[in-house]
Chain A
């Protein structure tokens, strides 16, 4: 059966329900080595909220990998995942073609973003600044989209090494008030880091943000959180720690937040940026890379 036919079937809600869970209904290359996949998983799509993640396995002997949800559509029964080829397991996932099925997908896991619990007045009264770095731009999108749909005012900064690596630019433009770009080489937007743009917005343009949310490389989140703290703006970061089960069972994802050990999978993945011990988190994140485990 062609992909198109499968998709039609899915849209008609007749794809064999949960039996087709994990089916890749769409795959696109967003940038070099960065792929978007829309996965059929109706229960997950229905339950998902901004900030949550899924656990994915691409083969029978594969690792369980946590991936933050980049979009979800309950009507179509799909969730969108954006993956970058960095190691063996992400390569396995990215190698899958549309029409193929992921071996496993489970979720949504983690606590939804804190703002989903806020009242309409609180949402209307807030001024959000979202900072997405590299692949982290993708999970920023459902949050901005949700806030936009709930009448909140959101500015977004996207950072990337260079213009060809920018993702979700168009999608983001549709849901935010102002979109700012920073590239390391100046090939798009402002030359420099996302923190440079953030300084410009707060210092020069006198933007009065009430909340900063950063998702991206750990080092970027660390500096954004530090800068937000200097401006006395509360911040939230989304941590992508190592996980085995993703449901609270293993504790591999533990991080120190405000001096207390927390499990990223059940207590997070979003935490107060000012309270996270980023240096410990970075060290723990690289635990197995450093070992150079051969498999």
Chain B
């Protein structure tokens, strides 16, 4: 019988303290808190949360084990479907996925599935809990003749695909363009939301224990082409998960002034290159006041990073708070930390000083008009509403467009109008044996959607390899 108590919220670092440091904001559950929260789950016979999860984690089952204090078992249940529980527990938009579907949420508060998943992921890591498939996969890898698969990119899509492929008896090599594995988990999401050494690195190490090889500093499309992976490196199939790509700008005047950067650049300096740490050689600049343009998770991450580097920070967004694409928790945290929100505001020009540095933004006020293709009311400029906002740095967090490197060097790979790679349901592209998934297919999305795409493609690749071995193809 489910415990009819209120939702147990995880403890957090005090807003006034955390805005001065890069340590993790949420402190997670203690064992007791986890057991208590887990006891709230109704254990629905037809759970709505599982199909709402892009990788279909067996949520009621892992929560039942957690409620009984069998945390290691809970970890094994999650591991069947997800290789990144400690990551997903921290960065998934649960309110629109598992928790959004939770029946308890209809009349009250949903089970805190995210924090429970995080707890279980952290527990198994801290206890050094070996995942059940490790030994088996290592043996299978030795026998993985004709089952060599290359994965391009070590972000969420690549990692989850590699995970399922390794469990399916493939010898997997992940090629990463940067010097560190993890993709957006390393370069994009800040330390205070997703600790690198204790969480990301450890979950990637788990994957290596399954026999997955990771080669950094290899840029597919440049160092090796997709064709070379087949012809020279001997792979049977390739999964392209090269990620989000090139940052978008607004194409307004003054955008190339000194002090205007993409959120990608700002976050890569701070996260991948650790510029927030004095020991790093990579410089980072903020100025006294920072304006972040955009309303997604990346905008929140950039704003909260700038704040921690000592800047007075504002978010500038052209719709209202209700339309902010960022996770509710990120918006809440950003506000608590003292970030100002300028809603219904759109920059029309970046203003510079005589030395070519940013001094501010010229903005217009917006109002919501007709519903547009995205189903949201589209913002329209209010006449004669221009005003100036002062800032010494402007961060553009407007999304990305696909990196053309692979498409332009791979003959016969079909891309769509937005330059995203075209695939079927299982991730198969127009090229035989070449699969793709994650942001390079969907356009910029979330960690968990990329992981879902990675899983589907892994299933597609396993089927492809079997059909090939059976001589069907």
Q: A: which residues have CB within 8 A of B?
A: 18, 21, 43-44, 47, 57, 59, 61-64, 88-89, 92, 103-109, 244-245, 247-252, 254-256, 261, 263, 266, 280, 283-284, 287-288, 290-291, 293, 295
Within 8 A of A (CB), among B184-223: 187, 215-219, 222-223
In the complex, the answer to whether A104 meets B217 with C-beta atoms within 8 Å is yes
State whether A47 and B268 are in contact (beta carbons under 8 Å apart), knowing that A61-B274, A244-B273, A248-B246 are contacts in the complex: no
The binding surface of chain A is classed by DSSP as mixed
Residues of B within 8 A of A263 (CB): 246
User: Across chains A and B, which 6 residue pairs bring their CB atoms closest together, nearest first?
Assistant: A250-B265, A293-B283, A106-B217, A251-B262, A104-B179, A283-B356
Instruction: Determine whether B247 belongs to the interface, using a CB cutoff of 8 Å to chain A.
Output: yes
In the complex, the answer to whether B179 meets A244 with C-beta atoms within 8 Å is no
**Residue from the set B219, B224, B255 with the largest chain A CB neighbour count within 10 Å:** B219
In the complex, the answer to whether A261 meets B281 with C-beta atoms within 8 Å is no
In the complex, the answer to whether B265 meets A251 with C-beta atoms within 8 Å is yes
Residues of A within 8 A of B272 (CB): 244-245
Q: How far is the CA of A61 from the CA of B283 in the complex (A)?
A: 11
Q: How far is the CA of A290 from the CA of B249 in the complex (A)?
A: 24
Query: How many Å from the CB of A258 to the closest CB on chain B?
Result: 14
Q: How far is the CA of A108 from the CA of B218 in the complex (A)?
A: 9
In the complex, the answer to whether B285 meets A280 with C-beta atoms within 8 Å is no
In the complex, the answer to whether B261 meets A248 with C-beta atoms within 8 Å is no
In the complex, the answer to whether B264 meets A249 with C-beta atoms within 8 Å is yes
Q: How far is the CA of A115 from the CA of B177 in the complex (A)?
A: 27
In the complex, the answer to whether B405 meets A266 with C-beta atoms within 8 Å is yes
Q: Mark B272-313, 1 if CB is under 8 A from A, else 0.
A: 111001111111110000000000000000000000000000
Instruction: Determine whether B381 belongs to the interface, using a CB cutoff of 8 Å to chain A.
Output: no
In the complex, the answer to whether A251 meets B274 with C-beta atoms within 8 Å is no
In the complex, the answer to whether B179 meets A57 with C-beta atoms within 8 Å is yes
In the complex, the answer to whether A47 meets B285 with C-beta atoms within 8 Å is no
Residues of A within 8 A of B320 (CB): none
Instruction: Determine whether B109 belongs to the interface, using a CB cutoff of 8 Å to chain A.
Output: no
Q: How far is the CA of A45 from the CA of B141 in the complex (A)?
A: 31
In the complex, the answer to whether A61 meets B223 with C-beta atoms within 8 Å is no
In the complex, the answer to whether A248 meets B245 with C-beta atoms within 8 Å is yes
In the complex, the answer to whether A61 meets B281 with C-beta atoms within 8 Å is yes
Q: How far is the CA of A105 from the CA of B217 in the complex (A)?
A: 7
In the complex, the answer to whether A249 meets B403 with C-beta atoms within 8 Å is yes
Residues of A within 8 A of B264 (CB): 249-251
In the complex, the answer to whether B219 meets A109 with C-beta atoms within 8 Å is yes
Residues of A within 8 A of B355 (CB): 283, 290
Partner of B222, one of A63, A109, A249, A290: A109
Q: How far is the CA of A176 from the CA of B246 in the complex (A)?
A: 39
Partner of B224, one of A47, A63, A250, A288: A47
Partner of A280, one of B218, B256, B268: B256
Partner of B245, one of A103, A249, A252: A249
Residues of B within 8 A of A18 (CB): 215
Residues of A within 8 A of B245 (CB): 248-249
Query: How many Å from the CB of B221 to the closest CB on chain A?
Result: 9
Within 8 A of A (CB), among B257-272: 258-259, 261-262, 264-265, 268-269, 272
Within 8 A of A (CB), among B365-410: 403-405
Q: How far is the CA of A275 from the CA of B282 in the complex (A)?
A: 31
| Interface contacts beyond A106-B217, A261-B249: sample of 7 additional A-B pairs, CB < 8 Å, sorted by A | A61-B280, A104-B179, A109-B219, A249-B244, A252-B261, A266-B403, A287-B258
Q: How far is the CA of A266 from the CA of B402 in the complex (A)?
A: 12
In the complex, the answer to whether A252 meets B223 with C-beta atoms within 8 Å is no
State whether A106 and B223 are in contact (beta carbons under 8 Å apart), knowing that A249-B264, A263-B246, A295-B278 are contacts in the complex: yes
Query: How many Å from the CB of B392 to the closest CB on chain A?
Result: 11
Q: How far is the CA of A266 from the CA of B264 in the complex (A)?
A: 16
Nearest residue in A to B265 (C-beta to C-beta)? A250
In the complex, the answer to whether B269 meets A244 with C-beta atoms within 8 Å is yes
